[in-house]
Amino acid sequence: MAVVEELLRTEENGTISFGNYRLDAKAKVEDYEHGGDLYKVKTFKELTKLEKNGMFAYESQPGTSVTDFLETEDGVTFQVEAAEDAQITVGLKEDTEYSVSVGNENIGTMKTNLSGKLSLSIELEGAGEIAVKIVKNG
């Protein structure tokens, strides 16, 4: 997978892709319309952050490139790549349990905090693109 050169784009399958972890300087795209929502992305080698309608949706430290990002009522799925291991936080429903899979491995159940954030560390250095699937339990 290559980085997302245009920083934020809509894919043919209806998902979005965003982020460029190879940038030395901060770059951003604001007011990007997709599916009736407005998105904003800030990205560079140290951080990638996505907002949807002014609300937190995704953040990684250091920066990542994300493809096929899809939010549903039941969770979120995406592919992620970076030059090194990353701490990733996604915005979901508050105080809710989710089943989390990284690659083809189920890493267990995690619960969001009162602000709806769920954080996980992913080993990305030298791994290429890794699939992440977070699905609400029940």
Cβ pair 6, 17 in contact under 8 A: no
- pLDDT (tens place) for every residue of the chain, 138 residues total: 568 889 999 999 999 999 999 999 999 999 999 999 999 999 999 999 999 999 999 999 999 999 999 999 999 999 999 999 999 999 999 999 999 999 989 999 999 999 999 999 999 988 889 999 999 997
**Does residue 3 lie in a domain region?**
no
Q: How many domains does the chain have?
A: 1
Domain that holds residue 17: 8-136
Assigned domain for 64 exists: yes
Name the residue among 16, 24, 72 with its Cα closest to residue 41: 16
Tokens 């979901």, residue?
A: 92
Please give the order of strands across the beta sheet that includes 27-34: 27-34, 37-44, 47-52, 55-61, 86-91, 117-122
2 found inside a domain: no
Which pLDDT does position 2 carry in this prediction?
A: 64
* CATH (domain of 15): 2.60.220
**129 occurs within a structural domain:** yes
In a domain, 132, yes or no: yes
Domain assignment of residue 22, yes or no: yes
